[in-house]
Structure 1
Amino acid sequence: MVTLDKSDIPAASVIVGSGGEKDTTTVNVHNASHGHYKEEGELRRGFSLLSCLGLAFAILNSWNGESASAQIVLPSGGSVAMLWGLVVSALATLTMAVSFAEVCHVYPLTGGQLDWTYLLVPEKYRTFASFFVGWMGSTGWISLAASASIIVSNFLSGIIVMWNEDFELKSWQSFLFYLAATIVSWCLNAFGLKILPTLDRIAGVWSMAGIVVVSITILACSSGRFAKAADVFANFNNETGWPDGLAFLLGLLQSVFGLTGFDAVSHMVDEVPRPARTAPMVMVMSICLGAISAFIYLVIFLFCAQDFNALVSSPTGPILQVFLQSTKSMGGTPVNAITFVCVWIVVLGCIQLGSSVAFNAIIASSVVFLQISYIIPMAALVIRGQACLEGNHHQKPVWSLGRFRRVINVIALAMLVLTTVIFTFPPAIPVNGESMNYVVVVLGVAIILCLGTWFVDGRKNYHGPRDIEARLAMAATAL
């Protein structure tokens, strides 16, 4: 944590209200940093701009996420939804990223959407709104972590099937891979705090290098056997039973998933220098890098796929099937919080024991929950505009969307609402108990738990994010 001299820290005012009258609170930042605000679990600012960008790029890992979830989009729009859906999703997600980057620039707080909601929503509603957003955001990140485990599980399962076509993989065996991936993640996060910044830099470089290595491999091995350009750029395939337009929107789940999680760096502002500048930059840069790298990779991926039908039905998964078609070869840490998250990841993973579309459900859950946590602060931006971005007087904003703010915010909100609703639809019709979209069940359970904890405990004991004024003051002096 940054050490400040007492003489350098004046008292400061922060306007946090957003109702009819603004609630101005004066805080002494020296007292906050030497008493009430400083906590035992406070983290040091060990992440540079490069390591933050590496972490953000590795979390999005857009090119890998897009190819790993290709079975979602191939029956729901084919290559048209895969490529041009990515363009649509990237532009829409970029409006969300720049909107929240502006908010993060003004309010660089680790709670991200939770803190922003408290500051942006009118005073009458802000306590419950931030409580609800905190629940949705936390559940979304748990689901996103679960999606990483299930991707690893599917990949390892696919390798086994690829090497032994006669082997019939059981759902419980895939679940064991899922457990193993979750346990490894728990160990790294619980006991590897000191090496995490280095791992994040390596992960970013590894992910970029992976695009190059994989692309060169499948291009070289597919020489002379490429798909036609029309099949790559203009092949629309609808096997869902839904109308074509709705099928295309359902196919956007793949591209939106590959770009979900851009808010990750906002939750690390206590660990980065100059958070009001670094975090917004990384937020926007990660979307640009992720979308561009994913589009290039998907074009190569599709050109090297000689049999699109085989990609959809392959037991190995689309990415391994493309390898097979191309190569013709068969080759200081908050431990309690991390443990809590991993336990819920395991619970969420149990869906795959009873559903053939568990992958879709977990992917959709991660997107839906995080997008719900985005909708409320985004709606506040649309309704209140510039007025809700004038509460932090510790630093003068140097970056603003200006007159384009309202248009960008409205586009972002419209896309959030539309896709959040669409992604709760079943992936295909007719629907039965095995093929239904269980994200509706997961969402219902989460909302019931959220409301239950609010009425039992939250409305009495939750009064908003702690020390929000002092944290804003400290962020302004972080070097």
Structure 2
Amino acid sequence: MPSQYSKQMSTGMQEIGHVSTKELDDANLARMGKRPVLKRNFGLMSILGFSCTILITWEGIVVGGPAGAVYGFLFVWAGVAATFVVLSELASMAPTSGGQYHWCSMLAPRSCMKLLSYLTGWLTVIGWQATFATSCYLVGTLIQGLVVLTHSNYEPKDWHGTLLFWAVVAFSVVINSVGGKVLPRFEGMILVLHILGFFAILIPLTYMADHGSAKEVFTEFLNLGEFPSQGLSFFVGTVGCIFAFAGGDAAVHMSEEITNASTAVPTSIMLSVLINGSMGFGMLLAMLFCSGDLEKALESSTGYPFMSIFYQATGSIAGTAVMASIVTTMGATTSVGMLASTSRQFWSFARDRGIPGWRVWSKVTKSNAVPLYSVLVTSVIACLLALINIGSPVAFNDLCSMSISGLYLSYMVVGGLLLWRRCTGGISSTRSSDSAVVNTAGARLVWGPFHLPGIWGIIINAWALIYMTIAVFFTFWPTSWVVDVQTMNFSVVGTVGTIILSLFYYIFRASKVYEGPIMEQA
């Protein structure tokens, strides 16, 4: 451990009353072997806004249509809550931008740490790159749907959606490139819109629409994919709800830009699942009770049943356009935060030499302390993925599934290792006051401020793993029992293919330069 870190941490621990929170954050980061190079511009409220608006659960439920259903949402919400508890415990232990691959390196046995950490890093790369691309794709097609709604003579083309996709990427790049306090203030403002927008849609929808019966909402199940059993249809239908909660680790990858990160990150994660879950469930019930002619909604020329439901409720194209614009605006602003998280995770993995071209992608611009090269390469990857839409309109479902599978597989790896460590007593409950290295590869493990002790921690950890296994399994399923080129889910090809390519890179190059999280010199 470099002497600079020892001095810094000793000062932080011995003179805690005389140093700022930022200095303590940097000292804790130093104990994990990382040099602070990003500016800590996020506080608790701004990162809460960031977390909540990344999830945009109620907006995702609106877009997802009736497939999620009440019981599917409750199942997913319970599973996501347990998963977020696990992520929060790990983020509290080691609040770094690396997230999952760093946690894997500190929890895994030394014999398999290097390869397992590397694969976990790539799973996170796959998940976040797909999540950002899916968000931009969704916004592009939502804008097309709005144009169809307001201009009946418009004929949407797939390449129109790609151009709109690129416009959303460009907007996200601009906000992310400015640096300073622009992004935190932007996220705080969007949190207000996220909450006000919920009521701006919920109130007119429930007031003006004809209401269905409770029997229809709570007892009648749809099997639009014509699966051989209702149970199978139920689990395949939960994918929409799972995606509505996607990106729960977003705040984790911003950890090195957050003050009091070991407490603020888990707090924002858990509050986001509570706030978004409550709002999402409320909006789901409203949509189901006010769905009107469901068959007509599913055949909407806009491509989105929720726009038809809004129109049936209000009887006004202008009113429907305003309500749908709120959802579209939230989607566009969410892409800004997704680009931030995706680029920070990519930057951190490059910093530890896990990505080809890591010398370039790990650079941070001195003027605004932003990993601009990682922001740009993430944007280019998304723009290239947008080209898939021109040749195959089913790209959204596949990208959505890759988003879930990549992120959830990375969660499963670290969740399984954490369960093993907590059952074998491998994590200390008290942090020493010295400057020793902790919570990184080969170092001593200590719990952070957020920790669920005892049997309850084990039960929730185990339930999270069960839920994630189910979620990943069904993300690879097609949306209907009779499969053709249009309904086939090719996400398994994308996920496994990327893993295979990363293994080839590992064999020929990364195994020589990647050692897990490196100990940086100050």
Scaled to the shorter chain, the TM-score interval is 0.7 to 0.9
1:177 pairs with one of 149, 164, 167: 164
Matched, 1:410 2:462: yes
The amino acid that maps onto 1:124 is S
The TM-score with structure 1 as length reference comes to 0.85
Q: 1:359 to 1:287 in 2, by over 3 A?
A: same
Deviation for aligned residue 1:170: 1.4
Matched, 1:117 2:154: no
Q: 1:396 to 1:141 in 2, by over 3 A?
A: closer
Residues 23-77 of structure 1: per-residue CA shift (max 9 Å, x gap): xxxxxx98x969x9546xx11211111111000000001100111122xxx3xxx
Tell me if structure 2 keeps the 8 A contact 1:103–1:389.
Answer: no
Deviation for aligned residue 1:396: 6.7
Deviation for aligned residue 1:290: 0.9
Q: 1:8 to 1:134 in 2, by over 3 A?
A: closer
What is the alpha-carbon distance in structure 1 between the residues aligned to residue 449 and residue 176 of structure 2?
A: 35
Matched residue, 2:474 = 422
What is the alpha-carbon distance in structure 2 between the residues aligned to residue 412 and residue 438 of structure 1?
A: 26
Residues 208-255 of structure 1: per-residue CA shift (max 9 Å, x gap): 111011112223332xx2222222223311021323211111111111
What is the alpha-carbon distance in structure 2 between the residues aligned to residue 350 and residue 249 of structure 1?
A: 30
Matched residue, 1:357 = 394
Instruction: Look up the SS of the partner of 1:118 in the other structure.
Output: helix
Q: 1:415 to 1:352 in 2, by over 3 A?
A: same
The amino acid that maps onto 1:253 is V
Matched residue, 2:39 = 44
Gaps of 5+ in 1: 14-28, 472-479
Matched, 1:232 2:269: no
2:422 pairs with one of 375, 385, 407: 385
Deviation for aligned residue 1:441: 2.2
Q: 1:358 to 1:397 in 2, by over 3 A?
A: closer
Matched, 1:60 2:98: no
Residues 188-216 of structure 1: per-residue CA shift (max 9 Å, x gap): 21235530000010111110111011112
What is the alpha-carbon distance in structure 1 between the residues aligned to residue 296 and residue 100 of structure 2?
A: 41
Matches within 5 A, 1:155-194: 155-194=142-181
Matched residue, 1:443 = 495
Matched residue, 2:519 = 467
Matched residue, 1:23 = none
Tell me if structure 2 keeps the 8 A contact 1:140–1:367.
Answer: yes
Residues 348-382 of structure 1: per-residue CA shift (max 9 Å, x gap): 22332233422211211111110011111111122
The amino acid that maps onto 2:70 is L
1:139 pairs with one of 114, 119, 126: 126
The amino acid that maps onto 2:247 is G
Q: 1:210 to 1:12 in 2, by over 3 A?
A: closer
What is the alpha-carbon distance in structure 1 between the residues aligned to residue 419 and residue 447 of structure 2?
A: 22
Q: 1:388 to 1:350 in 2, by over 3 A?
A: farther
Instruction: Look up the SS of the partner of 2:181 in the other structure.
Output: helix
Matches within 5 A, 1:83-122: 83-122=70-109
Deviation for aligned residue 1:8: 6.3
Matched residue, 1:274 = 260
Q: 1:298 to 1:363 in 2, by over 3 A?
A: same
What is the alpha-carbon distance in structure 1 between the residues aligned to residue 399 and residue 64 of structure 2?
A: 11
What is the alpha-carbon distance in structure 2 between the residues aligned to residue 119 and residue 47 of structure 1?
A: 26
The TM-score with structure 2 as length reference comes to 0.79
What is the alpha-carbon distance in structure 2 between the residues aligned to residue 33 and residue 108 of structure 1?
A: 11
What is the alpha-carbon distance in structure 2 between the residues aligned to residue 388 and residue 427 of structure 1?
A: 42
What is the alpha-carbon distance in structure 2 between the residues aligned to residue 342 and residue 155 of structure 1?
A: 20
* Deviates further, 431-440 or 453-462: 431-440
Matched residue, 1:340 = 377
Tell me if structure 1 keeps the 8 A contact 2:88–2:450.
Answer: no
The amino acid that maps onto 1:215 is L
Tell me if structure 2 keeps the 8 A contact 1:356–1:435.
Answer: no
2:452 pairs with one of 390, 394, 401: 401
1:154 pairs with one of 141, 155, 179: 141
What is the alpha-carbon distance in structure 1 between the residues aligned to residue 8 and residue 382 of structure 2?
A: 45
Tell me if structure 1 keeps the 8 A contact 2:41–2:180.
Answer: no
What is the alpha-carbon distance in structure 2 between the residues aligned to residue 418 and residue 132 of structure 1?
A: 21
Matched, 1:261 2:299: no
The amino acid that maps onto 1:173 is H
Deviation for aligned residue 1:7: 6.4
What is the alpha-carbon distance in structure 1 between the residues aligned to residue 6 and residue 464 of structure 2?
A: 42
Matched, 1:321 2:308: yes
Q: 1:167 to 1:211 in 2, by over 3 A?
A: same
